[in-house]
Chains A and B, each alone.
Chain A
Amino acid sequence: EVQLVESGGGLVKPGGSLRLSCAASGFTFSGYSINWVRQAPGKGLEWVSSISSSSSYIYYADSVKGRFTISRDNAKNSLYLQMNSLRAEDTAVYYCAKEMATGTLPYFDYWGQGTLVTVSS
């Protein structure tokens, strides 16, 4: 069974940093691109970042470029999101989401349960 489990969320002050993790199991983690998608309270979905299977291709939303860094450790079946210079508007539930298949377009067939990040003084 495919499982994605996020962790690392919490309350952080504006300007602070946080590192999110996503632990994967039930599939060959090293074979798939993985993404971060967030959802502010009561709002819609916003794509944040994508990393390819071997970390060769990395993309960011303009809203987080220069502040967030996505990375992965295929040996540990884990995905990370380092978030720096956090702002109130980064407050959201952060989901990791697996792409459907290698070499295909970014459709997300499995999602984690999400981890809440709250940026507030």
Chain B
Amino acid sequence: DIQMTQSPSSVSASVGDRVTITCRASQGISSWLAWYQQKPGKAPKLLIYAASSLQSGVPSRFSGSGSGTDFTLTISSLQPEDFATYYCQQANSFGLTFGGGTKVESK
């Protein structure tokens, strides 16, 4: 299976900050990557698919980039509702795998 490694595992930030989360695949996955946001006690929410395509209804402050093995999720200006845990997921091949998660916390 393809291993997905996220960094950092947690980040402390303030409202208005630019936040960047990275995800590295153990082998090339082209652009077949998604990003999800999860809040405590809730199901994950799809933010980005195909590495850089914004899911309908997701604010434009979220953006994704990358291809091959290295990917980035950027929140351009952190809002109060963005404090959550973020996961990447490779969609290149079954078994599908997720990164370990990045928790965005209030500084």
Q: List the interface of chain A (C-beta within 8 A of B).
A: 35, 37, 44-47, 50, 59-62, 95, 100, 105-109, 111-114
Using a CB-CB cutoff of 8 Å, which residues 26-41 of chain B contact chain A? 32, 34, 36, 38
**Minimum CB–CB distance for A107 against chain B, Å:** 4
Q: Are A44 and B100 in contact (CB under 8 A)?
A: yes
Binary per-residue interface labels of chain B (38-60) against chain A in the complex, 1 for a CB within 8 Å, 0 otherwise: 10000111100110000100000
Given contacts A108-B44, A108-B46, A113-B43, contact A61 B87 (CB under 8 A): no
From B13-21, B69-77, B88-96, the one touching the partner chain is B88-96
Nearest chain A CB to B16's CB is how many angstroms away? Answer: 28
Q: Contacts of A100 on B, CB cut-off 8 Å?
A: 46, 49
Contact A111 B98 (CB under 8 A): no
Dominant secondary structure of chain A at its interface with chain B: strand
Q: Are A44 and B101 within 8 A (Cβ)?
A: yes
Q: Which residues of A contact B100 (CB under 8 A)?
A: 44
A61–B97 alpha-carbon span in the complex (Å): 9
Residue of A nearest to B31 (CB): A105
Residue of B nearest to A105 (CB): B91
Collect the chain A residues with CB atoms within 8 Å of residue B44's CB.
37, 45, 95, 108, 111
Residue in A47, A50, A59, A61 whose Cβ sees the most chain B Cβ within 10 Å: A47
